[in-house]
Amino acid sequence: MDFEDELYKEFSKQCIDAEKTKSEVVRGLVQDWLTESEE
């Protein structure tokens, strides 16, 4: 599983679930990713 596939799946899921704007979803994913990277 590469990062882009993972990101795209999460992105699609969150857009559908939460009906957030795309920029909100992206911001959330980036925050999560940065947090994971720091650990």
Q: How many CB atoms lie within 10 A of CB 15?
A: 15
pTM of the model: 0.42
Name the residue among 6, 23, 25 with its Cα closest to residue 15: 25
Structure tokens at 34: 């940065």
Q: How many domains does the chain have?
A: 1
| Confidence (pLDDT) at 17 | 64
| Nearest in space to 15 (alpha carbons), one of 4, 6, 26, 5 | 26
User: What is the predicted pLDDT for the residue at 30?
Assistant: 87
pLDDT, one tens digit per residue, over 1-39 is 577 888 888 877 776 666 667 778 788 888 888 888 887
> 20 φ, ψ to 5°?
-80, 165
Q: What is the pLDDT of residue 1?
A: 57
Full domain range(s) for residue 20:
3-38
Q: Which amino acid is at 10?
A: E
Detail the DSSP E strand segments found in the chain: none
